[in-house]
Every structure is written in structure tokens, then in C-alpha cells.
Chains A and B, each alone.
Chain A
Amino acid sequence: MNIVKKEQIPYPYLKKPLSVYTFNNGYKVVLAKKDSQIINISSWIKTGSINENKDNNGVSHFVEHLLFKGTTKYKAGCFDRAMEELGGIINAATWKDYTFYYINIPKEHHKIALEMHSDMIVDALFPKEEIGPEFDPTGKMPEEKRERYVVIEEIKMGEDNNWRKVYKNLNNIMYENHPYKREVIGTKEIIANISQEEIKRYYQTFYSPNNITTIVVGEFDEEEIIELIQKNFKFKDNSNIEKCVCDSKIPELEIKNPKTVYDYADINTGFIMMGALCDSAKNLKETIALDLISTILGDGKSSRLYSELIENPKEPHYYQIDSCHYQFKDGDNFFIEANFDANKKDIVMEELKNHLEKLQNITPEELKKAKKRAKVNFAQESEMVADIADSIGYWATVCNDISLAQKYLNTLETIDCNYLEKIAEKYLSPNKIAVSLLLPKGENNETV
């Protein structure tokens, strides 16, 4: 594996530019210098539920669990124990566009950490005894409950989480066909039945060097890190395997048939999420505009939603409220979420939609405040090695361009109120919004 390109890319609030290395197999390494007792090592794989189909939904996340289950060199549990015995904090996460594995460890242990981290990324074995036997989740449970069953417990945990229920239902009605429609964690049925071969095939298809970026943040000798990486990241040649088939990924940038979906539970309050589809995270100016709108609408006590509906309402019926903007490769999501007095659901829906309409009138003061928040968010992200790595990982994986982080701040200055209003009209008009409600179980529950 040879270096074919080395770039220096400035990054907000970091003293030194990032060093970005590209290797001849397409693999990328990003090194960020930061004074810290902790070093963060992570590898970001450009795969998640975006690369799944109806038969293997959840496999990205299942693979994430199984990467901790042993390699040729280290049996299951060795990595976890070795890292944690050295003071490390390790874990991984899977989302729609990416999966990433990380270690935060006292800096003096960076060599062994990098060696073991690379080993799990390039040589995962997926032992059958660790995956556990396939079974029928509606029938008798197997005696051997291994990782397959752990993931099913994770799915069940999500079923007991009110916000996850509302989000799952909303996400499902926002998309027609795109793989984003499915839950990242998958279904109990698929996880109970997916074979070791299918799992391996997915890993071999997507854990290829050109799909991976390794990020190291902290105090280190750059040359030494690059040498260690070249020595340890020995990628296997999987070019001849039969690749996994993905569903078609035609971006959906507008909800075709906005609906309202209802669900019920043994609860005492109401939960609502309203969602809209927007352009890709790579569309920097629009992404920034949506970040700013989200701040104006629902970030903090002085935001429109909090200030008007919780602090100074005509009639109080909200307990929590905010808005958020999720960035994705094939199109962003914008959400408003609230917890409220369930008897007031019709008023709540009307009021929230009114607030979307009012986005046609954004004041210069609101814009100024939101811009400062956007800048300070970068300052905040620069405080800890893990946050720096997460931020770089996002730009490298979702946007495929780390230089956008610095461009974000420059582009931010070009945005005015008119532009925000235009973007709000384009994506956030009430007739473009899908709605998901979770309400207390009752006698006259609606179903549509």
C-alpha cells in the first residue's frame, strides 16, 4: 500500500491543518494534531443501511457488533479486554451512510491500539459460535443466545423508547423506495435468520480500502503513525467475490405523499415528530441554511418554538420542543419534535404547521444569532479528540470532502435572510411535511 497523495487541509479551530493521505488502493488516512492525554483512533466505513435491501436490512449494524468477535490473531473478547485494560474506551456505531469503530486511549498506548484496531477492520472472522444459531423469532428461542440475540434485545429496547417509535413511523412514511426508509437496526426476523455467509459477503463487499477512512486525533509523531498504518492495514483482495446487491438509491428530495401516522402506547403524554426531505448534505449552502433555520426555529430557550410555545404560550400544552437537521448523502431530513398534552393533538399539529409558514419572515437578528451558534459549534467540536474525529468522519464519509468544514464558515457569511426564506419555502412548507404521532391508548384511537 503506497501513498499517492498527501494534502494539508485547514480545519476550523485546529492549530495545524489536517494531513490527509490517499493510498493507491483508495484507502484514506486523516491525521489531526491536538494537545491531549487521550488519542482517538477511528475507522469510518462508507456503508450503513443505505447499502441494504429488504432481505438483509440490519446487516450493517449486525456486522458492527460482529467485528468485535474475533480475528485470526485475536479471539473474541481479546480486543475489548486489551484496550480496556490499558484505559481505553471503545465502541462503534452504525447509521444510514456510515459505520465507524473507535478507540479513545491514553496516548502512550497508541501503537497497540492502532495495531488491534486495524486487525479487527481488515480480518474479522465472524465465527458461527459467536453469531449464534439461526432461529424463528416467533417460535421457541434457541438455547444458545449469542450476538444475534443481543441485537434482538437491542431492537426490543428501541420498541420501549417512545421517541424511537415516533421516529421509526415517521421515517417509514417519508420515503417511497429509498433504503433510508428502513430502520438501521433492521428487524427481528432478518437478524434471527441471516446466515454467516450473507454477513461475510456484506463485509467483503463494503469493507474495501476505497470505502474506508482512518482518522487519528491527538498528540503523535506523524511519520510513525503512517508507518504503523502501512504495516498494519493489510487489506485482503476481495475483488473476486460475488458482491452484495443493493436496492436502487434514487434520492428522494421531497415527500411524494405526505401523510400523518398514528401509534399508541401505555403513556400519559403525546409525542409528535414532523419531518421533511431536503437536498443532499453535499449541497453545502442549503445544508448551512437548514442548520440556521433549525437554530432559529428550535435550538435553545430563545428559539421561536421554545419561546412562543413553552415560555409564552396563549395556552400552555407543550412540555418539550425542538427542531433538528440530520445530514445524509442522499438527502437531508429536517424535523420538529414535541412532547405535549395528548388532548391537544389537533391544536399542536396546527400550531407547528403555522410555525413552518412563519419561516417566511426571518429577522436579521435571528440570522446573526444562528450564525454565531454555527461558528461556536465548530469551537465546541474542537475541544475533545473524539468530537474532532466525529466531525472529520462526517465530512469525509457523508460529504466525501473534508475541505467543506472550512468552506462551511466562509459560505456561512454569504447567507442572508432572503436565502433562508427561500430554502424554508422550498423544503419546509406545511404541505411537504409528514407527521408521526404517538398517543396514549384510548377507546377512539385513530388509525390513519
Chain B
Amino acid sequence: MKQYNKNGINILLKKTPLTPRTSVCLFFRTNKKEKFFGLNSLLARLLLQGTKQYSAKKLALEFEKECIDVTTKAKQDYIKCGSVFLNEDFNLALELIKDLILNSTFEDFEKEVFKLKGEIISDLDSPKFRLTDCFVKNLFKNHPYSSTHTKILNDLDKITKKDVIEAHKQMLEGIKAIVVVGDIKDENKIIEYFSDNFNFMKSNEIKDEVEDIFKNDISKDEVIFLSKNDASQAQILQGWIVDSFNSEMCAKYAVLNNVLGSSGLSSRLFVNLRDKQGLAYTVRSQYETLLHSGIFNMYIGTSPKNIEKSLEGFKIELQKLADIPLDDKELLGAKENISGRLKYFTQNNSQIAAVDGYNFMMNLGLDYNERFMKEIFSITKEDVQQAAKKLLEMPKLITIIAPDKYKIN
């Protein structure tokens, strides 16, 4: 991936010869707490709901008749407009994308609020969704990262069209980048194209107003129980707010996570809770890094009778990793597994654009993946123990969804 800055526009280009489809992603950093939860989500959705030139219906048709796949999404730290299309449709796709970014009318505001509300209610019919919603909301309490479905649902009716227009204005004011991955024949031509036509993507350094949060805001372990009386399984999510990519702990947590529960079928949780005890079909750990925070969690879907046994299993596996150093083979295996997964998940143009664009927007640099893997390969057994100990020392949040009679304190 190469980085260019032409007339203040950040343009990232990567050539992938002979690939039939090009991916272009536009990134917009968000720098402050939304006025209402869900405001940026609503904005992202409304970008696809009609411009001065095209109604929502016509816009969808213009994209889909040429198979130009466009998504707009608000994440915790940025809004992204991602697209992928056949190489020959480059100009058409970019014209339409420019139009929706600059000329959206937001006229479908009420309809989109209704649709979003409906989708949220529908998603919350899934017990796993309810569990995750409850976990994130309670982990981050009043922080902007606590923006979950239920919080959005509470705030949706307070949002006005004026708020969306204001949020759109803010979106265009901050740090931005354009990422292009495809069978690029002439880099200069692409750079000139964006310089001439995408002036609105000029990036401006603005102060980030979101607070960093690197530990749980609780003094002791907290258990939240959600009732689902017709559930066949109990689902448990246990976790912590932890350091993120700017900390030396990041690579340590990443290796710990891999060994504990994210390498696949050979992780400690998988082997010891699933294979040896038959407690679950799905059991895993996850480490997610965000600009202002990190999340480490463990998940299991198990028979409601096994709730306590599963929680005990989480504790035992983490304790073992804190107490007993990994052997050389397992440590090296975790590092290789992380490396292989990175290769696997950066195969096609859309994946490359998403990953490299994200790294750029988070100020990590375009060489971040290489630097990250170097850090991973420098991790020692003691580092993994340190990460496990740190988790054990911190109060944890446990959320459980199950029938009432299996409620635990």
C-alpha cells in the first residue's frame, strides 16, 4: 500500500494486478460523542436514501444495475463508505459515491428512523444479540462506546433531521482518507482523478474529544442476568475493558487471546471446555482494539445447568495461563496462527482496503501489520502470563442470558 497526499487529500493505493473488481473505501474519523446514540448510524443509513439528483429508489437501482456494491456504516471511531465494483465501472461508481456523500437530502428521515427501529427490535429477538448489547452497554456505561441497540432505541425519537444534517457537516470536517485497491494501471491518473473530483475529502486535523478508557469502571465483579425463559441454552459473556493498540500490552493480550480461545479448534477453551467436558458447541475468547479502548472477553453457549461450571472453566483456564508458562511450541504456534489469520483475512481487495484504511485512520501507519507481527514474534512466555494475571486482577463484568430458574448471583 502506498500513501499519497495531493492537495490535502489522503489517498492510499494498492495494486492487485488482474483482479476483476476494485474496492474503494472512504473513511471519515469521528471525534466526539454523538449528540444522541444512533445519530451516526442514522446518518450512515441516510447517505444511501437519496440525493438531489436521485431518489432512494433510483439510487439503489443505479448502483445495483451495475453491481456496484456500496455500504455505509458508522463504527465506534469512524464512518466508512465502502464500495466494490467491476474495474470498468470505476468512473460511474465514483460519481455516484461522490453524489451520495455530498448531495444526500436526508428526505427519508422519518422512514429511516422507522426502519432502524424495526431492525433493532427484530435483532433483539435473538438472545445472543441481547446478551452482547447488555454486555457492551454495561461495560462502557456512559462512554460513547456504549452505543448499543437498546441505547439507540431509547434515543431514536429524540433525533431530528437537523441533528443529522449537523452530524453530516461534522463528518466532512475531520480526518479523512480514500483507499483504492485493485488492478490499477496508472497511479498518477487515479491520484489526479481524486484531486480534481474529490476535494471534499481534504483532511483536516481536529482535536479528538472522546476520552480514553482502559479499565472497567467497577470496583468488584458484576453479574447481570437477563431472563429468557424459553431458551434451550444459557449464553455467557465475561469481559474487561483493557489496553488497546497504543499500549505495549496489546501484543501480549493478542497472544493470550489466541492461546486462550481464538486460534480455532486447538485453543485452551475449545479443547478443555468443549472437547474434554462437552460443555458447549461455541466457546471462544476475543480481543478487540479500538481507538480509545480495548475489550477482552470470553463467550460460551451452554446448557443452563452448566453456567457455574462454565464460569469456573473460564477462571481455571485463565489461572493456568497466569501460573504456568507456555511451552515454546504453543507460544510459537500462537504467533504463527496470528500471522496466518492476518494473511487469510487480507486476501481480497475489499479486505485489504478495510484493514489498511483502518490502520491509517487510527494513526497506526501503513506498516502497522508488519510492525504488529514483529511485536507478536517478540512476545515471551512471561508476557503472556503478565496479560493473564492482569485480567485476573481486574474486576470483571459477567452477563448471562438464560431461563430465570438458573439465575446466579
Chain A residues in the interface with B (C-beta under 8 A) = 13, 15, 35-38, 68, 76-77, 80-81, 84-91, 104-106, 132, 141, 144-151, 153-154, 156-157, 159-162, 265-269, 300-303, 307, 310-312, 316, 318-320, 339, 341, 365, 368-369, 372-373, 375-376, 379-380, 382-385, 441
Contacts and interface: CB of A to CB of B under 8 A. Distances in A.
Top-8 shortest CB links A-B? A87-B340, A145-B278, A85-B333, A149-B278, A319-B118, A301-B60, A154-B281, A80-B265
Contacts of B303: 153, 156
B302 to A, nearest CB: 7
A380 B265 contact: no
B348 A146 contact: no
Nearest to B66: A372
Contacts of A267: 125
Given A15-B18, A85-B332, A90-B265, A376 B343 contact: no
Contacts of A80: 264-266
A156 B60 CA distance: 39
B336 A13 contact: no
Interface stretch (B158-166, B223-231, B353-361): B223-231
Interface string B263-294: 11110000100111111111000000000000
Contacts of B282: 157
Given A268-B124, A383-B347, 8 more contacts: A81-B266, A145-B279, A147-B278, A148-B278, A160-B232, A303-B64, A312-B57, A382-B20
Given A15-B18, A148-B278, A154-B281, A269 B266 contact: no
A379 B20 contact: yes
A302 B275 CA distance: 46
B233 A157 contact: yes
Interface in B32-70: 48, 56-57, 60-61, 63-67
B115 A319 contact: yes
A153 B281 contact: yes
B21 interface: yes
Interface string B321-343: 00000000110111011111101
| Chain A CB within 10 Å, residue with most, of B111, B263, B276, B344 | B344
A160 B20 contact: no
A78 B245 CA distance: 33
Interface string B374-390: 00000000000000000
B337 A310 contact: no
B232 A385 contact: no
B278 A85 contact: no
B337 A85 contact: yes
A86 B335 CA distance: 9
A130 B267 CA distance: 18
Contact of B114 (A105, A141, A159, A316): A316
Contacts of A89: 264, 340-341, 344
B127 interface: yes
Contact of B48 (A301, A320, A369): A301
B337 A87 contact: yes
B340 A105 contact: yes
Nearest to A441: B230
Interface of B: 18-21, 48, 56-57, 60-61, 63-67, 86, 111, 114-115, 118-119, 121-122, 124-128, 228-233, 263-266, 271, 274-282, 301-303, 305, 329-330, 332-334, 336-341, 343-344, 347-349
Contacts of B330: 85
B233 A156 contact: yes
B280 A77 contact: no
A36 B266 CA distance: 25
23 contacts: A36-B347, A38-B340, A38-B343, A76-B275, A80-B265, A85-B337, A91-B265, A145-B278, A153-B281, A153-B301, A159-B233, A160-B231, A162-B126, A301-B60, A302-B61, A302-B65, A312-B57, A319-B118, A320-B119, A368-B65, A373-B64, A376-B86, A384-B348
B264 A157 contact: no
Given A87-B340, A300-B64, A132 B278 contact: yes
Nearest to A316: B114
Contacts of B67: 372-373, 375-376
A339 B334 CA distance: 41
A150 B274 contact: yes
B65 A365 contact: yes
Query: Residue among B60, B65, B340 with the most chain A CB within 10 A?
Result: B340
A150 B271 CA distance: 12
Contacts of B265: 68, 80, 84, 90-91
A159 to B, nearest CB: 4
Contacts of B332: 85
Given A80-B266, A302-B61, A369-B65, A87 B339 contact: yes
A326 B63 CA distance: 25
A153 B231 CA distance: 12
A160 B301 CA distance: 10
B220 to A, nearest CB: 31
Contacts of B340: 38, 86-89, 105-106
Nearest to A308: B57
A226 B157 CA distance: 63
A380 B344 contact: no
Contacts of B127: 160
A261 to B, nearest CB: 18
